[in-house]
Structure 1
């Protein structure tokens, strides 16, 4: 008998599980909101987020915008117990025995007036990553398969200026002076949240889950400081995957050097960039999608996205309600066969459409998945 190939469903979902979703309009979130919402099993947005996950049933799932809280393990467990496993008519529970999360740069006071508005507020645009409190817009990896926690690499503290040819060096104000003072440039992290390499063992086969959530390339001015950072956050992965020495400058938060070469991986996350639309500096995402180590040939799509913008030829591949492909599941060429994939975005007349009818229903992003066979 020929053994059946081992298959795994891998997904990414910017689930909008950040404090701003759980406050009264006009109030500023403080970071306590998500744990309070998770404490019961009846928050409508969280129920819909969980319903989407329970319908698609990924084996490995990256959640962007899951706040990193004062009790991160407690928040993950509350989501698992109260939403993913709680009884729900017509939906099977789903269990994730393994998870990973870590601190992010959002909401961490830089000590500088990074947006040059005359006030070093310590939050928002003056934090190392935009956030109104530490941990806003964090990330969580959920997995049915074991995570090799001892081999995880995080790059939260990698300095932007240490990337050769970075776009920070030429970031200038209108008078030609550097946008950031020298002391800020010396400490500025590349990651607006974090970059992770998380090894997962799928029936003995190691999968490197490469996770990130680059800053949106907007909400700035003509200096394009966010556009530059988005470009270099994405470019980081192109360098990390190149085994010809391009990754030699990279160091992780434990001092390990170099990148990944010739190993099985899947690159996940809300990259906030499209090769054909939007305001990003497109060369970074274009180069990543063309990387020889990566197989970007299968583009997930949905009937709902196509119906939302019928005149747009790129619409079927959109993953965000505002009309762009922003979220990606990108496997390595080595070690995989791509079987199928999609975006959870039902057309208005299809089952589940109410789960994504508005941003408040669940999120302004859609869950993206691939089915992969290990070879």
Structure 2
């Protein structure tokens, strides 16, 4: 064979091979873009007034904005360091006080805490954020706690709190938030829930009809926040149900906790109940085949001394929820001699905080709880409740996969 012809054929073969390899690399890159993996987290950060003021029952407004502006609070810096260490793409912060100027609060938190490196934990930025009013501390004219007094706040507020916006929440995201499509359920009434259960005391209704019809379902609020990840939408379903304690034999807080978790379960159910009417008057739940993740301090454990399975199983056993990978930690495992202790998310030894993805459109890659073992780096941030929070950051890596929805 002519040597020139051989060289030409060889060169052509090499070019074809190179192009084929390039096509493979392009296809792989397109696949990676089309199916990204995102880290979603929830963290009760204990950044409400009761954490900073000794006589917090006399507060009429949140002290948090001033602390964020000063930029020196050790506890908030430790919270920031934990977030920087785990580096979630999307994170719900529970107990981050709400004020009307919440955007400024977020900017101050970012500028004075998250943008400052803490040791080996590098600065992190969240270009997108969402928050909205909370029922906590909103004055009412009703005796919701049944003590014979109408104080207007604390147990008589629409959600327990000494000032408006206490124990509220905010979502931070590295991906764009479709703010115009957010749905909130702050004002939904408890009695309208399908099969609503009124608290009872000694066989009698704990509330009169006027009080019962005024009670809000959410102690804070319930949000559906659509986050745009490339061409996909991830619905972040955020809430913070009331603790099922601090009540009496009527179990009003326990029943409300169940109702708040059932609200989330009803919202994601196909052919959702008709009582679901959001704050804009739009009826209905989440569209079928939607990709979603439930996040928040749900204040309900599936096992252990503080177990409330009748509440949390509304989600853990929901047919559309993937609850097969409970996040775990070495610190939790060492906190108590129980097999399920590794799943604890609170220093008071319970699994209370959750990241629960949909089966549709999401694949669990990894998960964990930021609770280092006493011998590990980072333990100094959680060894005492006052250093950061009595809760732990819970995270999950989720791969967006093709499915019937968006």
Q: What TM-score, normalized by structure 2, do the two folds share?
A: 0.89
- Residue 51 of structure 1 corresponds to 81
1:131 aligned to 2:161? yes
- Residue 273 of structure 1 corresponds to 300
Moved more, 214-223 or 232-241: 232-241
Deviation at 1:178, TM superposition (A): 1.9
Deviation at 1:274, TM superposition (A): 1.0
- Residue 272 of structure 2 corresponds to 246
1:18 aligned to 2:44? no
- Residue 93 of structure 2 corresponds to 63
The number of aligned residues is: 370
Structural mapping, 1:92-107, within 5 Å:
92-107=122-137
Distance in structure 2 (CA, Å) of the matches to 1:67 and 1:154: 17
CA contact (8 A) 2:62 2:165 kept: no
- Residue 317 of structure 1 corresponds to 343
- Residue 357 of structure 2 corresponds to 331
Deviation string, structure 1 residues 40-96 (Cα, Å, up to 9, x no partner) = 222000000000000000000000000012421111111011100024332211000
Deviation at 1:183, TM superposition (A): 1.2
CA contact (8 A) 1:227 1:280 kept: no
Distance in structure 1 (CA, Å) of the matches to 2:264 and 2:57: 37
CA contact (8 A) 1:217 1:280 kept: no
CA contact (8 A) 1:156 1:193 kept: yes
> Which consecutive aligned stretches of 4+ in structure 1 deviate over 4 angstroms post-superposition?
278-281
CA contact (8 A) 2:364 2:398 kept: yes
Distance in structure 1 (CA, Å) of the matches to 2:116 and 2:278: 38
Output the aligned Cα RMSD: 1.4
1:349 corresponds, among 363, 375, 381, to 375
Distance in structure 2 (CA, Å) of the matches to 1:87 and 1:227: 41
1:173 aligned to 2:173? no
Structural mapping, 1:175-214, within 5 Å:
176-214=203-241
2:263 corresponds, among 227, 233, 236, to 236
1:224 corresponds, among 251, 259, 269, to 251
Deviation string, structure 1 residues 134-189 (Cα, Å, up to 9, x no partner) = 11000100000000011000000111111111112xx2223x33211211111211
CA contact (8 A) 1:22 1:37 kept: no
Point out where structure 1 has 5 or more consecutive residues left out of the alignment: none
Distance in structure 1 (CA, Å) of the matches to 2:348 and 2:153: 26
Moved more, 280-289 or 202-211: 280-289
Q: What TM-score, normalized by structure 1, do the two folds share?
A: 0.96
- Residue 291 of structure 1 corresponds to 318
Higher helix share: 2
CA contact (8 A) 1:295 1:330 kept: yes
Moved more, 25-34 or 91-100: 25-34
Distance in structure 1 (CA, Å) of the matches to 2:55 and 2:187: 34
Greater radius of gyration (CA): 2
Deviation string, structure 1 residues 248-280 (Cα, Å, up to 9, x no partner) = 321100011111121100000000001113456
SS in 2 for 1:193: coil
SS in 1 for 2:200: coil
CA contact (8 A) 1:262 1:293 kept: no
Deviation string, structure 1 residues 329-372 (Cα, Å, up to 9, x no partner) = 00000111110010000001100001011110000000000011
